[in-house]
């Protein structure tokens, strides 16, 4: 198609575009934050705005085309001059900065960075559960009341909703999630079985900080839904994880425990490595550190997302990840994980 056959653009419209480009390019060149090469690539490269505007010149009526073309050349020269000026300014500033540095002064030794213990543990656990057939998922930390409580089988009058325990952003509808079970709620609502997921992430509760509790902490959620899943598969999965992560010599125990999200439910404890089951502040005198709560997903949660509990079943768990990190690295106070100390 010839230019004369295309839609025309008025000379004034193209002039406005050219002048706007000049203002923007000159301002950016004057602030000195971009190099000469970056500016030339931005304003005169193959995909630049200048090239795009230049291609519209044939669309201007013939009698005005010469005037607009002349302005286009003048603006190009003005932008190039601004780019040259900012490069000279940058070189001058660099020379001044170099003169301000005394190269005879001794340097400062930079300490190598380290990966946080919690991140190290999460990565190791992800590898283990990936070996066991699990994928990694994540979800929002600012959660709604529905996904944090209703869909985890916690009714309106449940004590877990108490204002003394929950950090509400907008009561009673929005809060900082109190557990990673809220991500489990999202997965159940949006994903078709079969699936297996692990969910590492932060949770928040209005607690008084001490050696074993903190306002912000990490959990490690697990979830599996399919046909024919039993408690034996849950126990086998957790037993395998404990052996692979802690070693065969570390003692663990399973005990019956109530959790609203599961039925039946179990608690899994690790023998306290700090007191060898004699009792201390970390294990609160019990000799055991509670590692996780688990169980078979409650039928109410399956029915809510349209799954027949007579056909589908699943298991879930929620680990106190900070306590696992403490056990792994011999850290006797959970607050040490968040105070910026780099000795661990």
> To the nearest whole percent, how much of the chain has pLDDT over 90?
36
Q: Any residues with CB less than 8 A from the CB of 302 and at least 6 apart, and which?
A: 188, 225, 308, 309, 312, 313, 314
Cα-to-chain-centroid distance, residue 247? 30
pLDDT reported for residue 128: 95
Residue 81: CB atoms within 10 A of its CB come to 12
DSSP SS3 for 277: coil
Residue range 205-250, pLDDT digits in tens: 888 888 777 889 999 999 999 999 999 999 999 999 988 998 877 7
CA atoms of 108 and 282, how far apart (whole Å): 39
CA atoms of 342 and 120, how far apart (whole Å): 14
**Model confidence, pTM:** 0.63
Residue ranges of the chain whose pLDDT lies below 50: 1-6, 344
End-to-end CA distance of the chain: 70
pLDDT reported for residue 25: 79
- Torsion, CA 61, CA 64, CA 70, CA 76, rounded to 10: -50
DSSP SS3 for 224: strand
pLDDT reported for residue 101: 65
Cα-to-chain-centroid distance, residue 136? 12
Which residues share a beta bridge with 199?
221
pLDDT reported for residue 271: 84
CA atoms of 151 and 189, how far apart (whole Å): 9
User: In this structure, what are the phi and psi dihedrals at residue 132, rounded to the nearest 5 degrees?
Assistant: -90, 5
Q: Do 314 and 320 form a contact (C-beta atoms < 8 A)?
A: no
DSSP SS3 for 252: strand
Residue 206: CB atoms within 10 A of its CB come to 14
pLDDT reported for residue 256: 93
Max CA pair span of the chain:
97
Beta strands in 70-215 (DSSP E): 135-136, 142-144, 168-170, 174-176, 195-204
Q: Do 299 and 314 form a contact (C-beta atoms < 8 A)?
A: no
Q: Do 220 and 319 form a contact (C-beta atoms < 8 A)?
A: yes
């Amino acid at each position: 198609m010839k230019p004369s056959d295309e839609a025309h653009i008025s000379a004034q419209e193209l002039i406005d575009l050219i002048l706007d480009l000049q203002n923007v390019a000159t301002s950016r060149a004057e602030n000195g934050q971009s190099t000469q090469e970056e500016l030339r690539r931005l304003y005169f490269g193959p995909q630049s705005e200048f090239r795009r505007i230049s291609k519209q010149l044939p669309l201007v009526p013939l009698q005005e085309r010469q005037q607009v073309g002349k302005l286009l050349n003048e603006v190009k020269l003005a932008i190039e001059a601004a780019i040259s000026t900012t490069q000279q300014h940058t070189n001058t500033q660099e020379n001044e900065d170099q003169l301000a540095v005394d190269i005879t002064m001794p340097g400062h030794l930079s300490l190598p960075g380290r990966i946080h213990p919690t991140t190290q543990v999460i990565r190791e656990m992800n590898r283990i559960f990936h070996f066991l057939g699990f994928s990694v998922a994540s979800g929002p930390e600012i959660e709604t009341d529905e996904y944090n409580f209703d869909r985890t089988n916690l009714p309106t009058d449940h004590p877990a909703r108490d204002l003394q325990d929950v950090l509400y952003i907008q009561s009673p509808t929005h809060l900082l999630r109190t557990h990673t079970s809220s991500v489990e709620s999202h997965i159940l609502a949006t994903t078709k079985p079969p699936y297996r997921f692990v969910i590492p992430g932060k949770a928040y509760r209005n607690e008084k900080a001490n050696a074993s509790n903190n306002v912000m902490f990490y959990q490690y959620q697990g979830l599996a839904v399919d046909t024919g899943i039993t408690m034996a598969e849950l126990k086998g999965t957790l037993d395998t994880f404990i052996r692979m992560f802690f070693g065969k010599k570390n003692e663990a125990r399973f005990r019956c425990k109530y959790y609203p999200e599961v039925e039946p439910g179990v608690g899994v404890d690790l023998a306290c490595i700090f007191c060898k089951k004699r009792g201390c502040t970390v294990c609160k005198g019990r000799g055991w550190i509670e590692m996780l709560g688990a169980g078979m997903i409650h039928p109410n949660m399956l029915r809510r997302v349209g799954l027949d509990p007579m056909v589908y079943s699943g298991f879930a768990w929620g680990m106190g990840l900070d306590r696992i990190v403490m056990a792994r690295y011999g850290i006797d106070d959970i607050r040490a994980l968040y105070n910026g100390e780099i000795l661990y």
